[in-house]
């Protein structure tokens, strides 16, 4: 038993650290945008922060393919049926392309309307619309490379996949600087320049992802492979992907409504929310990385019918994630002022974020539980339960409490954060009990 556990831990850490670096660099892109725009104007931060939330929802629309392809591929590898994986990849890429094209057109023509629906003032709509149009308009590019990287990770090429976000981050930072403060600043593009920088970096990332898929997996797409698209294989992908994406979509949608509620409190509160959420995302990165690494290991174990190993891995991953979330969130609270001074010099915003970081110590424990345990459940094929729980708790509990505590009770952002804690707390208890019940044993593909 000790030897087995040791190997399991090695597998988790080996997979998790490159995924963490990859996710960190993705997050750094948004951090860099917020950091650079914070020195440009607080209005730019507020507008792009809301725009990024809308973009997050768009990613979820084709993200269900990512989840479905990763779960099916991992179980196929565990079941030693690797010859079927090419069909999985073809189905995933084709559908990701079609959805990406549709999303691109939607953002090009309806960005203004999306921002107005969230209650942004016309001044903020003017600032955020070009950013949303440019990045959202290139959704097809993001869809393609986002659907390829999980395939590389599932096959164990996590370090190779990590190179893509590293490249994207470097290009994005350099171009941001050129447009905002460097030689191209004379164009006075501002937020538009940041959108161009991000989109160009994503194009480079897509090209790299396609090349890696060919080099490491041996897969090259050509039109003759369209015959591999089948209702049966797509059905398997959708069976796992749609409920998982539905849970993420429900979360992102509820966050948009909460953002609209916060907008009632004014631009300063909205800007504070963007800053606090940006920093809190760093804590979640650890849980996301552990969750994704665990998902690969558990998926393979379930495919190989090693149920006990899958169960132990889920519990071990949860405990590790909890310890890290607690440690990091405490450190962020202790160093709140120097961290926030990196983003803004507004004293009122810094004081508000300190209060939110204190509450986040409790929030992140529940959030880590949800992220890791839901990833584990997804790996086994038990995807409907998290979706149903998320749909009920987020919309029936979280949203009403956000308004009641934040607006009616006059607690402002503190009230909204308390509502977050209630939401994540209830769902984390339900997810943990689900994993311990082992009902998920009956949900696998094979």
CA angle 393, 67, 163 (to 5 degrees): 120
The rounded mean pLDDT for the chain is 85
Least confident of 153-157, 185-189, 322-326: 185-189
From CA 324, how far away is CA 292, in angstroms rounded? 16
Confidence of residue 375 (pLDDT cuts 50, 70, 90): very high
Nearest to 264 by CA among 80, 415, 130: 415
pLDDT at 327 over 90: yes
Least confident of 48-52, 73-77, 266-270: 48-52
Query: Do the Cβ atoms of 336 and 357 come closer than 8 Å?
Result: yes
The most confident of 140-149, 225-234, 416-425, by mean pLDDT: 416-425
Question: What pLDDT does 1 receive?
Answer: 33
Phi-psi bin for 201: left (phi > 0), alpha (psi -120 to 50), beta? alpha
Confidence of residue 8 (pLDDT cuts 50, 70, 90): very low
From CA 227, how far away is CA 87, in angstroms rounded? 9
Question: What's the pTM?
Answer: 0.78
Query: Each residue of 22-45: pLDDT tens digit?
Result: 778 776 666 666 667 666 666 777
Domain ranges of the chain: 2-443
pLDDT at 235 over 90: no
Buried b (16+ CB within 10 A) or exposed e, 172-208: bbebbbebbeeebeeeebbbbbbbbbbbbbbebbbeb
Confidence of residue 4 (pLDDT cuts 50, 70, 90): very low
From CA 33, how far away is CA 300, in angstroms rounded? 37
Give percent of the chain above pLDDT 90.
32
CA angle 92, 53, 422 (to 5 degrees): 105
Query: Do the Cβ atoms of 287 and 368 come closer than 8 Å?
Result: yes
Question: What pLDDT does 71 receive?
Answer: 85
pLDDT at 7 over 50: no
CB atoms within 10 A of CB 109: 11
Give percent of the chain above pLDDT 70.
93
Give, for 387, the enclosing helix (H) or strand (E). helix 384-393
From CA 285, how far away is CA 292, in angstroms rounded? 10
Average pLDDT over residues 403-414: 91
Q: Tell me which residue has tokens 């082992």.
A: 438
Query: Do the Cβ atoms of 251 and 423 come closer than 8 Å?
Result: no
Angle between helices 231-263 and 384-393 (to 10 degrees): 20
Nearest to 244 by CA among 376, 423, 403: 376
Provide DSSP, 172-218. Answer: HHHHHHHHHTSGGGGG--THHHHHHHHHHHHHHHHHHHHHHIIIII-
**What is the C-alpha end-to-end distance of the chain, expressed in Å?**
26
The most confident of 44-58, 145-159, 354-368, by mean pLDDT: 354-368
Angle between helices 347-380 and 231-263 (to 10 degrees): 160
From CA 130, how far away is CA 80, in angstroms rounded? 48
């Amino acid at each position: 038993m000790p030897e087995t556990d040791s190997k399991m831990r090695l597998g988790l850490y080996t997979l998790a650290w490159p995924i963490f670096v990859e996710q960190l660099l993705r997050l750094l892109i948004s951090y860099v945008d917020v950091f650079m725009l914070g020195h440009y104007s607080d209005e730019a931060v507020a507008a792009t922060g809301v725009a990024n939330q809308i973009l997050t929802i768009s990613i979820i629309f084709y993200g269900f393919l990512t989840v479905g392809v990763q779960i099916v591929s991992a179980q196929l590898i565990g079941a030693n049926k690797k010859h079927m994986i090419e069909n999985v990849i073809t189905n995933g890429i084709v559908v990701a392309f079609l959805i990406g094209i549709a999303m691109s057109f939607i953002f090009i023509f309806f960005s203004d309307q999306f921002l107005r629906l969230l209650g942004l003032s016309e001044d903020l709509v003017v600032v955020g619309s070009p950013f949303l149009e440019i990045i959202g308009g290139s959704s097809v590019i993001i869809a393609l490379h986002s659907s390829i990287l999980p395939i590389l990770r599932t096959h164990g090429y996590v370090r190779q996949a990590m190179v893509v976000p590293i490249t994207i981050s470097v290009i994005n930072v350099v171009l941001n600087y050129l447009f905002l403060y460097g030689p191209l600043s004379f164009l006075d593009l501002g937020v538009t320049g940041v959108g161009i920088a991000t989109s160009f970096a994503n194009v480079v990332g897509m090209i790299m992802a396609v090349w890696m898929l060919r080099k490491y997996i041996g897969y090259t797409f050509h039109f003759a492979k369209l015959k591999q698209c089948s209702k049966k294989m797509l059905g398997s992908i959708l069976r796992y992907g749609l409920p998982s994406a539905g849970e993420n979509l429900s979360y992102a949608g509820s966050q948009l409504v909460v953002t609209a509620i916060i907008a009632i409190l004014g631009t300063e509160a909205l800007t504070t929310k963007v800053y606090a959420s940006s920093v809190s995302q760093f804590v979640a990165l650890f849980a996301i990385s552990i969750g994704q690494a665990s998902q690969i290991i558990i998926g393979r174990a379930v495919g190989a019918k090693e149920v006990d190993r899958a169960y132990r891995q889920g519990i071990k991953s949860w405990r590790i994630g909890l310890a890290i979330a607690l440690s990091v969130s405490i450190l962020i609270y202790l160093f709140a002022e120097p961290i926030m001074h990196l983003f803004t010099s507004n004293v009122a915003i810094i004081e508000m974020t300190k209060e939110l970081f204190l509450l986040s110590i409790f929030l992140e424990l529940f959030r880590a539980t949800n992220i890791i345990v839901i990833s584990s459940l997804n790996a086994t094929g038990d995807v409907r339960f998290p979706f149903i729980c998320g749909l009920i708790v987020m919309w029936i509990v979280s949203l009403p409490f956000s308004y009641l505590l934040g607006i009616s009770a006059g607690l402002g952002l503190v009230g909204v954060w308390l509502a977050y804690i209630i939401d994540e707390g209830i769902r984390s208890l339900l997810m943990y009990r689900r994993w311990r019940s082992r009902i998920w044993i009956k949900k696998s593909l094979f």
